[in-house]
Structure 1
């Protein structure tokens, strides 16, 4: 009653870089929140880590993206760069297996920013909550410098 027992989860940045609002992502699927709500990171690093404790549920073909589920059953997807599926794994090194239990900050994918940029693709990396029915509210924190696995970039209130 009145939020006394509300459950919140803070999501850390999976990538070191500057956060931006999803509406600024130059890809309609992300900017229009068709794939989920969240935030994006303009990377300055080369490592994607777990943004929360949980289990890796999917490593997308080529290692350009991963999904995980927290103990509270919140589903999070991290997409490294835009349209990076076309790289067929070039420049991506997967560091964990699917169904691995991970702690916030655990390295998941190492990527080569130069390999992505040299193809003309954007490094902007969306961080999405992909199960909107499980959340009541989502507060994202754009316009800040974030450290992978440490800096909160979103706060989600669960249903």
Structure 2
């Protein structure tokens, strides 16, 4: 009788840090939601994990970002830091290969915070649903709170 209600899904924090609204990210591509909608994390950790179960459909060759596709069709992008593509992979270590199916909490990328911040770059990490037309009720949670990678929920949503 209640089969038409869609189950709420969630993403957990991909890295330790403080959750912030996308609008506060110091890059207009993310702040103005041009790349997708979601949240950002002002990171304190050094290991980025999968925020959900799914396939690792893209790991950028510079290892500064990765994309996942979930079994429900939702596409997710985790972008580690701002302007970090300019490092050409320096400070990033890939732990999983593209095409791998992973579970929430699986380590994907390890970062060297000293190298990245030493170049004057921010480690604020946007977590974005890139195909927002496929979801509804995308809701940031834990904004302003410290979260633990693979543990605390940072976004909830329903599939359309």
Q: TM-score range by the shorter chain?
A: over 0.9
Match of 1:113 in 2: 113
Gaps of 5+ in 2: none
CA separation of 1:41 and 1:5: change in aligned 2, threshold 3 A: same
* TM-fit CA distance, 1:61: 2.1
After superposition, residues 1-159 of structure 1 pair within 5 angstroms as 5-141=5-141, 142-159=143-160
C-alpha distance in structure 2 between counterparts of 1:100 and 1:2, whole Å: 35
TM-score (norm 1): 0.96
TM-score (norm 2): 0.96
C-alpha distance in structure 1 between counterparts of 2:71 and 2:88, whole Å: 31
* TM-fit CA distance, 1:136: 1.4
Whether the 8 Å contact between 1:68 and 1:75 is mirrored in structure 2 is: yes
Whether the 8 Å contact between 1:61 and 1:85 is mirrored in structure 2 is: no
C-alpha distance in structure 2 between counterparts of 1:116 and 1:149, whole Å: 22
Secondary structure, in 3 states, of the residue corresponding to 1:63? Answer: coil
* Cα offsets for 1:8-54 (capped at 9, x unmatched): 21100001110000000000000000000000001111000000001
C-alpha distance in structure 1 between counterparts of 2:96 and 2:66, whole Å: 10
Larger displacement relative to structure 2 (29-38 or 64-73): 64-73
Secondary structure, in 3 states, of the residue corresponding to 2:115? Answer: helix
Secondary structure, in 3 states, of the residue corresponding to 2:29? Answer: helix
* TM-fit CA distance, 1:113: 1.1
CA separation of 1:4 and 1:149: change in aligned 2, threshold 3 A: same
Secondary structure, in 3 states, of the residue corresponding to 2:39? Answer: strand
